[in-house]
Each structure stands twice: as structure tokens, then as C-alpha cells.
Chain A
Amino acid sequence: AQTVTQSQPEMSVQEAETVTLSCTYDTSENNYYLFWYKQPPSRQMILVIRQEAYKQQNATENRFSVNFQKAAKSFSLKISDSQLGDTAMYFCAFTLINTGTASKLTFGTGTRLQVTL
């Protein structure tokens, strides 16, 4: 079974600063995807960024980037130039790559990020 751990229940960052959210996971499989989802108070889950495990290059989406360390099973999210709109709950998630018809997202417990003035 796969597990995802987010060890920071809450974090705070000032506007325009950089913050890093931690995520570790455990799996015996070699082929999988990792995701970061954001859930603002409006409650919609929004995909922030994803990483394929077979790619060594870290994924980047504008101000969001990841530090993917496969051997260490670590997948941290860096938010640069933080904005008030980044205030949200952030979930790290894992899914196995398969060609079957059933797949599941395993979520971490979440990190609540507050961006302050």
C-alpha cells in the first residue's frame, strides 16, 4: 500500500516571499505520478503541478516548482513570490501508473498555507 505524509499541518508566509511545503511518500513501485492540489476556501480542488516518477527533471508551473527526490521519496512544493490568492490547503497526492481501468489517488493530510501582508 502507498502512503503520503505531509508533516507540516500549517505554514505561514509573507506576501512576495518563498515557501516550501514538504511531502514524503512510501511505495515499493517504480512507476507513478505525484501531484500537488490546492483547495482554497472556495473548496474546489485545483491541480497545481504534477511529476512523473520516470522524469528526473523537476516540474515547474510559473511560480510553482517541485523538488523531486526519488531515492529519498520526497516531493516538496516551492511557491515563489507568494500571493494572497495562494492561501489554501495544499494536498500532496500519489497514483500508480497503470493501464487498467481502476486507479486511486492517495492523499496526504494536507498543509494549510496562510499568506500574509
Chain B
Amino acid sequence: DTEVTQTPKHLVMGMTNKKSLKCEQHMGHRAMYWYKQKAKKPPELMFVYSYEKLSINESVPSRFSPECPNSSLLNLHLHALQPEDSALYLCASSRSSGNQPQHFGDGTRLSIL
């Protein structure tokens, strides 16, 4: 069982839809991350939240909008996505955004029609 829970596990959406990905952890971690992973490639960092504040944005297009409502939750709001945005979206958390290991969720498999 993973300690980082992501929902939904699969999502299919059209390019005009608005949807959200959710991530939750109850390990008391204060850093949370969003990654995008294409098939057979390593994860690419998108966003980092530290103590509920956005600390890293890796020049991600504005059609991806992160939100950290509290220390346990991380959302990724999606709007007007493109077919190339189809990927596995992974959430991770760590005790701090320093050198502690990141714990990953199972990911959301996103398909854009």
C-alpha cells in the first residue's frame, strides 16, 4: 500500500474539459511535488510546494494549475490540455524539500482525446 494516495487512477478528458488530479498524504511531510512521466522516460518535475507555498515551477504551461489547500493535500487543475499532455502524473512528498527521500504515489494515467 502506498502512503501517498492519488485519485483518480485513470482519467480520459477532451481538450476543452476542466478536471483536477488529487494527491493526499498523512505522513506529516511538508514538501509535495508534481511530476509528469512519459512512457519509458524518467519523471520530469513540474511543481514543488514547501510548507504549502509554491517554491518551484518548472516553466509549466498555465493550462496546469497547482493548488495546495493544506499540508496534506495537493491538487493539479487541468484546463484546455493538448494531446501531448497525455502522460502519467506522479505526486510525491518528503519531510522537507531538501535531501529527504521522496515518497511517490501510484500516479494518474491521463489521456487527452
Could you list 20 further interchain pairs (A-B, Cβ under 8 angstroms) beyond the known A42-B106, A44-B106, A104-B48?
A43-B106, A43-B109, A44-B105, A44-B107, A45-B43, A45-B92, A47-B102, A89-B40, A91-B42, A91-B43, A98-B99, A100-B97, A101-B50, A103-B97, A105-B43, A105-B45, A105-B102, A107-B43, A109-B41, A110-B42
- Give the distance in Å from the alpha carbon of A95 to the alpha carbon of B41 in the complex: 18
How many B residues are at the interface, by size bracket?
20 to 34
B residues with CB within 8 A of A: 2, 31, 40-43, 45, 48, 50-51, 53, 55-56, 88, 90, 92, 96-99, 101-107, 109
Number of A-B residue pairs at CB separation under 8 A = 66
Q: Which residues of A contact B (CB under 8 A)?
A: 32-33, 35, 37, 42-47, 50, 89, 91, 95-105, 107-110, 112
